[in-house]
Structure 1
Amino acid sequence: MNEVVETLRIIEQNYKLFRQQQFTFVRALEHTREEAHDLIRPVSSIVQVQCYKDHHCFNSTDRRILNMFISICNDLRSLCQKLETVHPGDSVTNALLEKCKVLLNDSNDLTAIRATYPHGVVNYLSLDEARNRYGGVVSLIPIVIDTLKEWITYTKRHLLHTVSRGPAISKKETPISQPPPSVHFAARTSISNKHTVQLQEKDFQKYLYENQRPKQKAPWRPPGKH
């Protein structure tokens, strides 16, 4: 899980750099759409951006920013694949992951999606750009990142927390084995026997002491007065 969090953090850092260059990204799409004579339809998929870059991009700045967009999408797609191996999940996490995979599909139609508050990417576009051309493509990455954050938060709070509590509960509920009563009885018997032997030895020493003392002589009496 720590590896997943770190990977997403790096992707977020790359996206922040990309977001700061949103104007450059939009201009690159404008230039390549003009070269492709494709100014009517909106930019509606990742594969469309890829096609513009590969076949209609003749400016190094445009190529760099389009590559940056595609690279972040690829990184997010790889992270989704990694999440499937981190934890089997439940219906909630599986639904979140499936949402990300659908959004990141190369041919998925992005025209209807919009990133909302706190993201301001759509607000940086003109009304026509947001509604008819670029509103979906600039919303893709922030929506996916938010969904992956939700996946991580839910997994930490519910699934991993439940798993971590399992061994602790089992350990707490496991009764501590008590030594068999015979052990205690034998110990008490041994102590009692030892005490008895000590008492017997003490009595014997007392007996020897009393019988070995020199006998006192009877007081002298004059003869004939017994």
Structure 2
Amino acid sequence: MNEVKESLRSIEQYYKLFQQQQFTFIAALEHTRENAHDKIRPVASIGQVQSYMEHHCNNATDRRILLMFLSICEDLSMLCQKLEAVHPGNGITNNILEKCKVLLSHSNNLSNIRAKYPHDVVNHLSCDEARNHYGGVVSLIPIVTDYMKEWMAHAEKLPRHVLHDVSDQRAGSQMKAQQEASARAVAPPGLPPASHVATQTLVSCRDRAQDQRSKDGKKYLKPGSYTGRLLNGPWKPPGKHSF
């Protein structure tokens, strides 16, 4: 949990730098939309921003700020994967995480989302820009970060062992895979697995012990032994008393 908190904190610090350059971001979108002859429809998806940067960006400053936006979106997508790894999920957390995934999808339509108080990104736009062009795209990152904070708040209320079990299971699976890989690498080709060899060894030792006990039993029951004489009855001297 501490790791995902630190990841989100780092993303937020990077986003603060981006937020300070919001006018540069809007100007870059204006330039690239004009180059793409796409001035009518709103900027409504991450994929649209990526297309503008890759195909219609003629300015190093515009490319830098568009790439910064895309990089933050990618970092948030990777953080979603970390959240899934830390916690198996319940109804509330799964619902929050699903919202984040939908918002961060490259094809998702962002036109109708708006970041609300305490975020002021929409307030920095003109009425036309906010309503018709950039209100959704500037709202994406603050809305997703708020959802992730909400996810963490719910996850921290769960029993501590739930979070630990997930990480322990992943660590155990990774360790087992590494051990199996090491065993395959060390073992000469053609040999059976170590567990099979151990089983064969135990069976062989058991069989040898049984054979030895059988031999010992036969050795002490040979003719002329004390047990053999009891089976033939007591000894009598030869003569007239013998019958």
The TM-score, its normalising length taken from structure 1, stands at: 0.71
| Distance change >3 Å, CA 56–CA 163, structure 1 → 2 | closer
What's the CA shift for 1:157? 1.8
Aligned: 1:111 with 2:97: no
The CA distance in 2 between the partners of 1:25 and 1:159, in whole Å, is 43
Residue 47 of structure 2: SS of its match in structure 1? helix
CA RMSD of aligned residues (A): 1.3
Correspondences of 1:88-103 after superposition (within 5 Å) = 88-103=88-103
1:39 CA drift (Å):
0.1
The offset of 1:163, in angstroms, is 7.2
> Larger C-alpha radius of gyration, 1 or 2?
1
Runs of 4+ in 1 over 4 A off after TM superposition: 161-164
What is the CA–CA distance in structure 2 between the aligned matches of 1:87 and 1:70, rounded to whole Å? 26
Looking at structure 1, the residues matched to 76 and 154 of structure 2 have their Cα atoms a distance apart, in angstroms, of 18
Asked whether the equivalents of residues 80 and 101 of structure 2 are also in contact (C-alpha less than 8 Å), the reply is yes
Paired residues for 1:69-84 under 5 Å = 69-84=69-84
Query: What are the equivalent positions in structure 2 for 1:20-169 lying under 5 Å apart?
Result: 20-160=20-160
In 2, Cα distance between equivalents of 1:103 and 1:163: 25
Shift of 1:162: 7.5
| Deviation (angstroms), 1:159 | 4.4
Q: How many angstroms apart in 2 are the aligned matches of 1:111 and 1:160? A: 39
Shift of 1:158: 2.9
- Helix, strand or coil for the counterpart of 2:13? helix
Gaps of 5+ in 2: 165-243
TM-score normalised over the length of structure 2: 0.66
Give the Cα–Cα distance (whole angstroms) in 2 for the partners of residues 129 and 62 of structure 1. Answer: 18
Alpha-carbon distance in structure 2 between the residues aligned to 1:101 and 1:162: 23
| In 2, Cα distance between equivalents of 1:153 and 1:19 | 25
CA offsets per residue over residues 46-103 of structure 1, 9 Å max, x none? 0000000000001000000000000000000000011111010200000000000000
Q: Equivalent residue for 1:6? A: 6
Q: In 1, are the aligned partners of 2:122 and 2:139 still within 8 Å (CA)?
A: yes
8 Å contact kept, 2:87–2:162:
no
Equivalenced residue count is 164
Identity, % of aligned positions? 68
Deviations 1:32-51 (A, max 9, x none): 00000000000000000000
